Structure 1
Amino acid sequence: MTDARDIARREVLVRGAWVITQGPLGTIADAAVHLRGGAIVEVGDWTALRAAHPELDVVGDGTGIVAPGFVNTHTHLSEALATGMGSELTLFEWGERIVGPLGAVLTQEDAAEGTALRAVELLLSGVTTVNDMFVHCNPGSHASVGVVDGIERSGLRAVVSFGAEDVADPALPPWAGVDEVLAEQFALERAAAEASARQVQAAVEAAATGAPDAGAPDAGAPDAAGTGLVSFRYGVGTLLGQSDALLAAGVAATREHGWAVHTHLAETREELVVASQRWRERTIDHADTIGLLDGPLIAGHAVWATDRDVQLLAERGTAVAHNPVANMILGSGVCPVPVLRRAGVLVGVATDGAASNDSQDMLQAVKMAALLQKVHHIDPSVIDASTVLRMATIDGARALGLDHLVGSLEPGKRADVVLYQDTVDVSVLHDPEGQLVYGASPRSVAAVFVDGRMLVSDHRCVSVDEAAQIERCRPLVRRIARASALAAEGWSRA
């Protein structure tokens, strides 16, 4: 089975009518990006680059848009095989009636195959980096570790986390002890580190033999001979879903090991009420009280953040992942994006999980990030396309601490590049940023490079065979529907 590990890095020029760099060069007309050995070597005028490199293959005919790959700052690949259930439920109801039963039966195989399936959707909507939180409550399975296999096969750049919750139902005893939850965190961290080590070693070996996969040390790129694509964050599913003992152990572990954190904060009004009853303070305040905000942290949603909360997040350097589509489907509310950004909080754009969104289409999330604010404020000027595009690229990379590698097209950064071309969606380019945000669709995604490997070619994912992966996942979908009783409860017809 061919996957991303069989695809060599390419030295090419990627050409567009416009190159949106998100860097100091801004947006350049009739330009190109020179990729070599997984790094960006140069960005600039097409005519000059072509004259300097007449021998190189060219991707793009000069009619489309070249842009940095999107950074999807928050999703749940644990929901990869569970789309279309409970879309009329509130988040609290949905978590109890859908996510809980689903999480009790997920396995490493489900994680690996579901991740590979959704990777196709992510890549075909321009995503090159994904920040995942795998949520499950299947004792002894270490199901989250399977995500790493799916990520390696697909070739995506990823940050992985286990969204641990041990007391999802306060009326029941914890499904796992603190030691068991921490053991899975360590297992996932180890799997991510081993995957990155394999990727770096493969690039080093290719460089030593002069293979096409060779690095480009003269490009000045970090880890120019190759960089690992998978990294780890400590996951806290929700504060309310964890016992005080697990919260304390998690904070201690993040301090001891220097782990950054991925969690949810202030997603729903009900969350704030229950938190106030339990701790006499809301979740953002409690996260600060226990020291969870002391280190790098990205929080999904922040829909119900008050002005005081926003100031605290800004002071602590906490980043926020905005999930407009999921927030609308679940009726959670509207994230105060303009307020957060004015306060200096980094805000990225995200799809959220495939079941809370029913899609991993990042282009849809980017468009909704703009439209939701406009209609909520009844003001079309409250946010513009350039701002949203920045949130979905370089700001998302900064939120994850990856902006030294990705998020903009600059010499020395990794070659995570997307070409939008060939469709009506991007045929009229009076305003390339506006057309990409408001008009582009997955049909427009002609080519996607991650770390210099071309994973989408001629509008088709080549690292994962889409048809074959669908067939591999169909029996898994039926199994989880039956094993979780979601089929018996009427939530699934699989």
Structure 2
Amino acid sequence: MREDVVIRAAWVLTAAAPGAVRDGAVRIREGAVVDVGPAADVIARAPEVPVVGDGTGIVAPGWVNTHTHLSEALATGMGSELTLFEWGQHIVGPVGDVITAEDAAEGTALRAVELLLSGVTCVNDMFVHANRGSFASLGVVEGLERAGLRGVVSFGAEDLADPDAGPWGEVEEILDEHHALHAAAAATELVTFRYGIGTLLGQSDALLAAGVDACERGGWSVHTHLAETREELVTAAGRWGRRTIPHAEHLGVLGRPVIAGHAVWVTAPDIDLLARREVAVAHNPVANMILGSGVCPVSALRREGIAVGIGTDGAASNDSQDMLQAVKSAALLQKVHALDPSVIDARTVFEMATIDGARALGLSHLVGSIEPGKRADVVLYQDTVDVSVLHDPYGQLVYGASPRSVAAVWVDGRRVVDDHRCVSVDEVAQIARSRPLARHIARDSRLAREGRSVL
């Protein structure tokens, strides 16, 4: 049930004007934020409304996870010594060949617990699979609904694992799944759809052209990867005579609203093109480090007005969906790469993970900040050592908080985490349901045979 409740803390970090409110409170009602300000004033305006929170800790907007792959939910902990291309060939490919809609639903519900318990209230997913006829991506919608988690879903279709081998599937067959996923999302309250392009290199020219046409006809936005690795750029130049970002422009992809994962290997002309086309970027620091892909030039992108959000990336390219790790790493990676601790500050990173992430997804009119009229996606951090000393609430949340600190989470006004426990999904039961599915993935793919899984 949606609650009419006042949420109180030592600090309310709004990600909007007036910024940080000391001894603040937020009132939510009918799924929306209706009041925010000093606690004494908010409580006085609604004395009959129950208060959650003891005046310590932090209230903040829920994190917006701008890029992940819930197709990897049951395939964690493998391939950490592989490059992206090797990892795709030896881990993601075999998993994608056998994953089903049931695996997707149960894996999504499993990882939703982890997302919610790290303060995520909205997740942008790209489900990558090649299990023909399974329509496996639709399971994500079921899992998100079960968890009460706001989401944006896409099918990361690829039909060209080997450019010399030709496409493995019919273009119309692949487009059918996009349309089915769009319809499934449209039937929900909290889930929306984007057209997924797994990678430009992973698609035949026929599918790329058909996808651009489908987006124009359907008015669809796009979720893709761009400029993630050097190998991508070299291979693209060999295939098309241009790198992936200018080729996306050539195809007309950038004529739609686009969020692009990674954008690590971008040139100055690339950045200028992304800015002119208002392409948003999802920065995935943990995955970029694990796969040795490089460092996203966050400051250069932001200087040009590009919306840069933060993502966990998939559970197999990160091995976690803990958004607090990604938020902290986003700051630390920029500092160590520049050898300058002042290159980015905690408040900037906080805003990247909240309002900028919402802007990147075209959802900033709904979520990403705590303002009257916006949807009530709110997190209370309280009760633990992690948030007990708040000399700087932004710094403590970005650098010091852990999932232990997440006391309560509301998504669209519904309390889905209460007393540090997910209440929308039974964590113990969900683990039990997911274990045999992980075993089937290890058995039916080549992961177990190749010694990559001991299940």
The TM-score, its normalising length taken from structure 2, stands at 0.99
> Is it true that 1:389 corresponds to 2:389 in the alignment?
no
User: Which residue type is aligned with residue 247 of structure 2?
Assistant: H
Give the aligned partner of residue 134 of structure 1.
127
Equivalent residue in structure 1 for 2:93, among 97, 100, 105? 100
> Is it true that 1:54 corresponds to 2:47 in the alignment?
yes
> Is it true that 1:428 corresponds to 2:389 in the alignment?
yes
Equivalent residue in structure 1 for 2:118, among 122, 125, 128? 125
User: Which residue type is aligned with residue 481 of structure 1?
Assistant: A
Give the aligned partner of residue 209 of structure 1.
none
Cα distance in 1 for residues equivalent to 2:267 and 2:170: 34
Give the aligned partner of residue 160 of structure 2.
167
Q: Secondary structure at the match of 1:470?
A: helix
Cα distance in 2 for residues equivalent to 1:31 and 1:442: 22
Deviations 1:140-195 (Å, cap 9, x if unpaired)? 00000110000000000000000000011234342211001100000000000112
Cα distance in 1 for residues equivalent to 2:39 and 2:168: 58
Query: In the TM superposition, what are the counterparts of 1:40-51 in structure 2 within 5 Å?
Result: 40-51=33-44
Give the aligned partner of residue 151 of structure 2.
158
The answer to whether the Cα contact below 8 Å between 1:419 and 1:448 also exists between their aligned partners in 2 is yes
Cα distance in 2 for residues equivalent to 1:169 and 1:461: 42
Cα distance in 2 for residues equivalent to 1:52 and 1:346: 36
> Is it true that 1:342 corresponds to 2:303 in the alignment?
yes
Q: Secondary structure at the match of 2:253?
A: coil
Cα distance in 1 for residues equivalent to 2:98 and 2:164: 20
Deviations 1:475-494 (Å, cap 9, x if unpaired)? 00000001002101011011
> Is it true that 1:293 corresponds to 2:286 in the alignment?
no
Higher deviation after alignment, 165-174 or 119-128: 165-174
> Is it true that 1:480 corresponds to 2:420 in the alignment?
no
Distance apart, 1:58 and its partner CA: 1.2
Cα distance in 1 for residues equivalent to 2:180 and 2:325: 34
Q: Secondary structure at the match of 1:161?
A: strand
Cα distance in 2 for residues equivalent to 1:429 and 1:413: 27
Distance apart, 1:388 and its partner CA: 0.4
Deviations 1:306-360 (Å, cap 9, x if unpaired)? 1110111000000000000000000000000000000111100000000000000
Q: Secondary structure at the match of 2:329?
A: helix
Distance apart, 1:431 and its partner CA: 0.3
User: Which residue type is aligned with residue 400 of structure 1?
Assistant: L
Cα distance in 2 for residues equivalent to 1:170 and 1:82: 26
User: Which residue type is aligned with residue 116 of structure 2?
Assistant: L
Query: In the TM superposition, what are the counterparts of 1:90-489 in structure 2 within 5 Å?
Result: 90-195=83-188, 228-489=189-450
Cα distance in 2 for residues equivalent to 1:346 and 1:459: 31
Ranges in structure 1 where 5+ consecutive residues have no aligned partner: 1-7, 196-227
Distance apart, 1:55 and its partner CA: 1.8
> Is it true that 1:33 corresponds to 2:57 in the alignment?
no
Cα distance in 2 for residues equivalent to 1:170 and 1:473: 35
User: Which residue type is aligned with residue 327 of structure 2?
Assistant: V
User: Which residue type is aligned with residue 60 of structure 1?
Assistant: G
Cα distance in 1 for residues equivalent to 2:274 and 2:164: 32
Distance apart, 1:77 and its partner CA: 0.1
User: Which residue type is aligned with residue 151 of structure 1?
Assistant: L
Q: Secondary structure at the match of 2:127?
A: coil
CA RMSD between the two structures: 0.6
> Is it true that 1:80 corresponds to 2:73 in the alignment?
yes
Aligned length: 455
The answer to whether the Cα contact below 8 Å between 1:137 and 1:175 also exists between their aligned partners in 2 is no
Q: Secondary structure at the match of 1:129?
A: strand
Q: Secondary structure at the match of 2:104?
A: helix
Cα distance in 2 for residues equivalent to 1:61 and 1:21: 19
The answer to whether the Cα contact below 8 Å between 1:122 and 1:361 also exists between their aligned partners in 2 is yes
Cα distance in 2 for residues equivalent to 1:242 and 1:168: 8
The TM-score, its normalising length taken from structure 1, stands at 0.92
Ranges in structure 2 where 5+ consecutive residues have no aligned partner: none
Cα distance in 2 for residues equivalent to 1:141 and 1:289: 32
The answer to whether the Cα contact below 8 Å between 1:80 and 1:115 also exists between their aligned partners in 2 is yes
User: Which residue type is aligned with residue 369 of structure 1?
Assistant: A
Cα distance in 2 for residues equivalent to 1:171 and 1:250: 21
Equivalent residue in structure 2 for 1:13, among 6, 11, 22? 6
Q: Secondary structure at the match of 1:104?
A: helix
The percentage of aligned residue pairs carrying the same residue is 73
Deviations 1:4-31 (Å, cap 9, x if unpaired)? xxxx011000001000001111100001
User: Which residue type is aligned with residue 62 of structure 1?
Assistant: G
Cα distance in 2 for residues equivalent to 1:405 and 1:165: 31
The answer to whether the Cα contact below 8 Å between 1:139 and 1:175 also exists between their aligned partners in 2 is no
Deviations 1:226-274 (Å, cap 9, x if unpaired)? xx21100000000000000000000001011110000000000000000
User: Which residue type is aligned with residue 88 of structure 2?
Assistant: G
Distance apart, 1:297 and its partner CA: 0.2
User: Which residue type is aligned with residue 73 of structure 1?
Assistant: T
User: Which residue type is aligned with residue 300 of structure 1?
Assistant: G
Give the aligned partner of residue 206 of structure 1.
none
Cα distance in 2 for residues equivalent to 1:481 and 1:284: 35
Q: Secondary structure at the match of 2:225?
A: strand
Higher deviation after alignment, 287-296 or 43-52: 43-52
Question: Which consecutive segments of 4 or more residues in structure 1 shift more than 4 A?
Answer: none
Distance apart, 1:454 and its partner CA: 0.3
Q: Secondary structure at the match of 2:98?
A: coil
Deviations 1:192-217 (Å, cap 9, x if unpaired)? 0112xxxxxxxxxxxxxxxxxxxxxx
The answer to whether the Cα contact below 8 Å between 1:346 and 1:395 also exists between their aligned partners in 2 is yes
